[in-house]
Amino acid sequence: MWTSPSTKLASGMTTDSETSPLGRPPRLANVPFNPSRLPFFYGTVVLVCGTLGVLTSAPGQTVGVSVFTDFLIEAHQLSRSWISFAYMAGTICSALLITRAGHWYDRVGGRWVSAFSAAMLALVLLGMSFSVTLADSVATVLPGSYRHHVSFGVLTVGFFAMRFFGQGMLTLSSRNMVLEWFEARRGMAMAVIGISVAFGFSITPPLFEWLIQRGGWSWAWQVIAAMVAGFSLLAFAFGRSRPEDHGLLPDGPFAKKDRKTHAETLSGRSFTLAEARRTYSFWVFTLSVVLSGLLLTAFSFHVVSIFSDAGMSRSQAVAIFVPAACVSVVVEFVGSWLSDFVRLKYLAMVQLVGILVLSLSLSFLNPGTAVVFVVLGMGLMQGLFGIISGVTWPRFYGRQHLGAISGFSTSIVVAGTAVGPYLFSVAHDRFGSYRAATVLCGVAALALLAASPRANRPE
């Protein structure tokens, strides 16, 4: 059996009857095989598995749901505003439970939460493919004409489950599972996830559209459900919650290297969720990510209207995402590498500058130079989003309560993404433009930028 002193715990490998260093017995941890018996660092396998998990969450993300919106409007005979309201209500309800899901992650580990979340997402997608039939069946037993109300209720519940199991639990558990296996090289692990997701999510809409055109929207969701169920089995077979459960250390053969160079990278003491919420840095980083998610979702939701107000076409509006994605990939790669060596507050400042640039360029959008700044601001904001929202929590607050802390932060972010499009709609309806909302985002970015210099890792 291959062993390496740099990857094994000093006390040797654990067995099924032992307790992990984080205080939880690794029940069934080595089923169907023991990672410590393999001649390579198993964190690389977890990295692949976690990346696939985040990609698999696409059907529950806005990028995946939006492809089906027009077909749901036609099938359920609901207006676009009612579909949007159902989506917002479902998203906000899911945000209320993500913190609870984070506590569950801390108890049972990322492997089991990922596998369970994927299985549940597959069932929800299957149910959504029959949403019209379900709504018709329920409406027939109700007095009067309640068909539209029933459709709204069915879609709200469906959106809630898709967002909770997809954007919430599956994304959180898959990403955190990877973060458990890397510490000094956590930034590079996040770069792999971020770049893969950037390209993966970019092909999600055309892939889903191809499935819809091939067999209809209902059939497409059934095919996607089968693929998501396949990942559930993959997560069970190859996912592993924590390296300590198998007598290994984070970073594997690199665990003992460059400890002075990576001073902030190495975790300090473990915080509980209550302790983390009392720290100054928690709220600076959380609110920065919330503002980024709010602005990005609102911009994506209203992009055609925003560009139309500036005298530009639909094709010009949609085309903005391609160059922004290219900038985002470069920023994410460089930022992820830097995050292993520099303090996270500096990267948060760059992200806030991106938010400010995007807010101001949208406030004074025109067919000229402002479009360039939209691309630059959006690329900076997107590229650093995953780093700030992922690396911060294990580095600042340890891994023992990682699920609860990251889950609570994610719940606020998800709520922000639900509110963003509505906030922009209100601004446009009341003032005839989106400028009031974009200026408000810019002011918030300035306030957080002023607060960032003191956002150090709590001791």
Q: Is residue 101 a contact partner of residue 169, using CB atoms and an 8 Å limit?
A: yes
On whether residue 20 sits in a domain, the answer given is no
- What is the tally of structural domains in the chain? 2
213 & 336 share domain:
no
On whether residue 346 sits in a domain, the answer given is yes
CATH (domain of 183): 1.20.1250.20
How does pLDDT run across 278-333, given as a tens digit for each residue?
Answer: 999 999 999 999 999 899 888 877 787 888 888 888 778 877 877 888 898 889 88
Structural domain of residue 363, as residue ranges? 269-458
227 & 284 share domain:
no
53 & 124 share domain:
yes
On whether residue 408 sits in a domain, the answer given is yes
243 & 330 share domain:
no
The greatest distance separating any two alpha carbons of the chain, rounded to the nearest whole angstrom, comes to 73
60 & 171 share domain:
yes
223 & 104 share domain:
yes
47 & 181 share domain:
yes
On whether residue 25 sits in a domain, the answer given is no
Question: Can you give the pLDDT at residue 407?
Answer: 87
Return the amino acid letter for 101.
A
| Residue finishing a domain among 193, 215, 250 | 250
Question: Can you give the pLDDT at residue 258?
Answer: 47
Give the C-alpha distances (Å, rounded to integers) separating 35 from 14, 41, 44, 159, 233: 12, 8, 11, 37, 17
Using CB atoms within 10 A of its CB, is residue 265 exposed (0-12), middle (13-18) or buried (19+)? buried
| Residue finishing a domain among 191, 217, 250 | 250
> Alpha-carbon distance 151 to 77, whole Å?
9
On whether residue 6 sits in a domain, the answer given is no
Hey, what are 284's tokens?
A: 């600076």
Per residue of the chain (459 residues), give pLDDT as tens: 334 433 444 333 333 333 444 444 456 777 788 888 888 889 899 999 999 999 999 999 877 887 788 788 888 888 767 887 888 889 889 988 888 888 888 888 889 999 999 999 999 999 999 999 998 888 887 766 677 888 999 999 999 999 999 988 999 899 889 988 888 778 788 888 888 887 888 788 788 889 998 999 999 999 999 999 999 999 999 999 888 888 888 877 766 554 444 445 455 568 999 999 999 999 999 999 999 989 988 887 778 788 888 888 877 887 787 788 889 888 988 888 888 788 999 999 999 999 999 999 999 998 888 899 999 999 999 889 888 888 888 889 988 888 889 889 988 988 888 888 778 888 888 888 889 999 999 999 999 999 999 999 887
191 & 318 share domain:
no
| Residue finishing a domain among 184, 218, 250 | 250
169 & 245 share domain:
yes
351 & 441 share domain:
yes
On whether residue 95 sits in a domain, the answer given is yes
Label residue 432 left, alpha or beta by phi (over 0 means left) and psi (-120 to 50 means alpha).
left
On whether residue 27 sits in a domain, the answer given is no
On whether residue 142 sits in a domain, the answer given is yes
Give the C-alpha distances (Å, rounded to integers) separating 306 from 370, 374, 437: 13, 12, 12
How does pLDDT run across 400-419, given as a tens digit for each residue?
Answer: 888 889 889 988 988 888 88
How does pLDDT run across 364-412, given as a tens digit for each residue?
Answer: 998 888 899 999 999 999 889 888 888 888 889 988 888 889 889 988 9
Q: Is residue 151 a contact partner of residue 76, using CB atoms and an 8 Å limit?
A: yes
240 & 141 share domain:
yes
344 & 199 share domain:
no
Contacts 24+ apart (CB under 8 A), 360-366: 360/438, 360/442, 362/299, 362/306, 362/434, 362/438, 363/435, 363/438, 363/439, 363/442, 365/306, 365/307, 365/309, 365/310, 366/310, 366/311
